Amino acid sequence: MTESLPSAGVDSAASRPGLRLFILGQTETVRRAIANARQLGAVEIIDVRENPQAAEQAHVLATPTLVRTDDARIRIVGDLRNLAAVRAHLGPPYEGDPEAPAGDGDG
């Protein structure tokens, strides 16, 4: 499963670096990570069962893992539920997005 998901109403997504979300299957954690990643903008979803080479090339050791395509050192493992912390970790232009929901604060 490799798919690109449209942004969730974020007009500035075209000027943002790409995001890739590496997943394994369709667990509740994966579904939550996909939903949260969609709130950041366009994201490419890569299921490591179907594309293990992509995960190996990106040095992904755990899933779900969100990777910024312009700087593979910027990555977040987990369901991305704390969107404020996710945005801060991703850095510009993701941090401080005024249209963004805050998340529930649990990492």
CATH code for position 44 = 3.40.30.10
Range of the domain at 46: 2-90
In a domain? residue 96: no
In a domain? residue 100: no
Long-range contacts of 56-62 (CB under 8 A, 24+ apart): 58/20, 58/22, 60/22
In a domain? residue 74: yes
> What is the count of structural domains for the chain?
1
Alpha helices per DSSP H over 39-95: 52-57, 83-90
In a domain? residue 98: no
In a domain? residue 30: yes
Q: What is the pLDDT along the chain (107 residues), one digit of tens a residue?
A: 555 444 444 445 556 789 999 999 999 999 999 999 999 999 999 999 999 999 999 999 999 999 999 988 899 999 999 999 999 999 888 887 545 444 444 44
